[in-house]
Amino acid sequence: MTELPKSADIVIIGGGVMGASTAHHLAQRGVKDIVLLEKEDFFGLGATGRCAGGVRYQFATEVNIRLSLASLPILERFKQEMGQDVDYRQCGYLFLLTNETDIAAFERNVALQHRLGVMTEWLTGDEVRRRLPQMRLEDVLKGVFHGKDGLCDPNGVVMGYVNNAARLGVQALTGIEVTGVQSRGGRVAAVQTSKGVIETSQVVNAAGPWAGRIGELAGIEIPITPIRRQMLTTTPLPQIPADFPFVIDFAQSLYFHREGDGLLTGMSNPTEKPGFDQNVDPDWELINLEKAAARLPLLETAGLASHWAGLYEVTPDAHPIFGRTPLEGFYLVAGFSGHGFMHGPISGKLMAEIMLDGAASTVDVSMLDFARFAEGRLIHEYNVV
């Protein structure tokens, strides 16, 4: 392992997509003395590596849509620009709507998406049923579909950023846990780790679900709650067509998409208690499977290929936090509430702009600052799965 440096201009905590993207974009802007720290033995094993890999333009707030408009095209160009294949598959997201309340909300959301250039399509219940003949959808009233939504490889994105950051001079280190954040006179002074101390005047907290714990080390209360989410994959299901979309039964927070020759399904547990447990809950897995098989009877013929659990990093308004905190030099990019992977590419660039230019310019995220919680300026996202 590379020896831990005694000092650095910037220390980034968290080697998932947020930390890796931030490191790359800062280095690309000419900052050379950067240390990226990951507590696991490999990069991208935390929340990024345990997500479903979905990427979408379909959101309910202007800032989230604009983040997608800036971020997803980066994924389209990723192999060309970064030399790393990320298997971006534009299979489309198809939301199934089964009640009038959700339809009314999605009417507002789709109108906003259209205004911003995201041409989401409305489908009637019959059109949805014709599109998905394998599924039981008698109760579906309407659907919304956007063909450029899809899937991408989280590990490929993380390693693309880590490898390019390293080529630009970033020291990217694994197996190092941050145990303290030292400050002097209201400013960051050093980061304590399991391998020693790094003196620094700037820290980026990109620790995802663990961002609140890192905040505690710095004496800052960050409103980010870790919530377990789990999913599973099946053995091959040759009856599933190649163009099967990412299907979301919105009212049930139940989803499906192709994964290899089989299918991936997951379902959010509305009663899940906050915590860092990443073990699969077998009772909830059974509920997920029962609900999934009721929608897609083919699942009754499939076997279990794999299953795992990961953590959402949830804020009170399901929007991320960008930028400065009350501790001078201590920055935050976390709290994406289940859609961080897809916004990671642009978020690193925005953090570089915030830190080097004083404000983000590619996308205006000034309303997603840390102070909004104390000041009551919450911006709620409806399209949370």
CATH of the domain at 255: 3.30.9.10
- How are strands ordered across the β-sheet holding 196-199? 178-184, 187-193, 196-199
232 and 146 share a domain?
Answer: yes
Q: Is 346 a domain residue? A: yes
Q: Among 294, 310, 326, identify where a domain stops.
A: 310
CB-based contact 186:201 (threshold 8 Å): no
Mean pLDDT of 272-286: 97
190 and 103 share a domain?
Answer: no
Give the pLDDT score at 348: 98
Give the pLDDT score at 88: 94
Mean pLDDT of 342-363: 98
Q: C-alpha distances in angstroms, 159 versus 15, 16, 39, 170?
A: 10, 9, 16, 13
Q: Is 197 a domain residue? A: yes
Mean pLDDT of 193-221: 97
Q: pLDDT confidence of 49, banded at 50, 70, 90?
A: low
Cα dihedral angle (342, 343, 348, 354), rounded to 10 degrees?
180
Q: Among 254, 279, 310, identify where a domain stops.
A: 310
Q: List the beta bridge partners of residue 87.
A: none
Kindly report, residue by residue over 127-172, the tens digit of the pLDDT. Answer: 999 999 999 999 999 999 999 999 999 999 999 999 999 999 999 9
Range of the domain at 329: 10-50+154-224+317-375
Give the pLDDT score at 242: 93
Q: Is 350 a domain residue? A: yes
Q: pLDDT confidence of 47, banded at 50, 70, 90?
A: low
Q: Is 246 a domain residue? A: yes
CB-based contact 63:379 (threshold 8 Å): yes
29 and 44 share a domain?
Answer: yes
Q: What is the DSSP letter of 6?
A: S
What does pLDDT average to over the chain? 96
Q: How many domains does the chain have?
A: 2
Question: What span, in angstroms and rounded, lies between the C-alpha atoms of 293 and 4?
Answer: 51
Mean pLDDT of 324-351: 96
Give the pLDDT score at 51: 73
Kindly report, residue by residue over 14-37, the tens digit of the pLDDT. Answer: 999 999 999 999 999 999 899 999
